[in-house]
Structure 1
Amino acid sequence: MIQMKDRTLAQQHQWQIKYPGIESFVFNNKWVDCLMSRNNLSNRRRITIAQLLPDDLIEQQQEFLAFITYIRIQHDYPLTLVETGARTVSIRTTGHEKTNFTIVLNAWQMG
């Protein structure tokens, strides 16, 4: 779409005066990629299929919260509370971060 629009604009007299030789310029994919990169642009697609929430969503949330609470208590995992909007969250680690990864789950109860 960008290539077609640019080719159309390149045929207009006002752009030919401002940029001599533009009518013979090749607006190829590499040019478009560079243009998008220079201007911090990216391709996005509109989706039309939305994920439907399950009928038992509230029940599943409650079960998940109960499971996480049970596991946290069973294994004595510390409860980490941080200020909303904090840039970093300090957590205890094993020192083997290069060989493993950590998942931090956040659960809240809807009232």
Structure 2
Amino acid sequence: QLKTVTRYMISAKARSLAGKQEYYTLYPDIYKYQFSYKWVDRFIFRHSLVHYRYTTTIQKLPENYAELQQKFLSFVLYWRTKYNYPLNLIDNMDETPMAFNLPSQTTVEKRGAQTISILTTGHEFTNFTITLACLADGTKLPLFIIFKLVNVPREQFPNSIYIHANPSS
């Protein structure tokens, strides 16, 4: 089916089906049903369904990351003491890609299914980049957003956020 199915969707579909006349004749007391999450859990169990989570592989740190971290810290401290850099001239910046469309990572599927596929809009890999930065003295720098576009979007952004367009970002 490829579509993400949530517990809420199962409950909502059951409520909509319960409102149809043919179900009143089969189940006269259907109007009393709550279709709660507990009911959804029992429904999933009765029909041998499972709530699967989409998984990805994580990025592993290098084996010698502690040594590399210590070398970098020593390098920064050496140059800071040698040239007397003030803390407000040392910064740390991180770039984080964000997606415009974040598909759900869970779905309900038959128990024992080998492959779980989820249908998406195809834009989950259309990203923009957010950069977060702070200074060594604790000052937070304004947010900087980079869109992979030719022109900056014509939206209203807060004055505290810097917007940039880069077609090859």
What is the TM-score normalised by the length of structure 1? 0.39
More strand by share: 2
What is the TM-score normalised by the length of structure 2? 0.27
More helix by share: 1
Q: Taking CA–CA contacts closer than 8 Å with sequence separation of 6 or more, which of the two structures ends up with the larger relative contact order?
A: 2
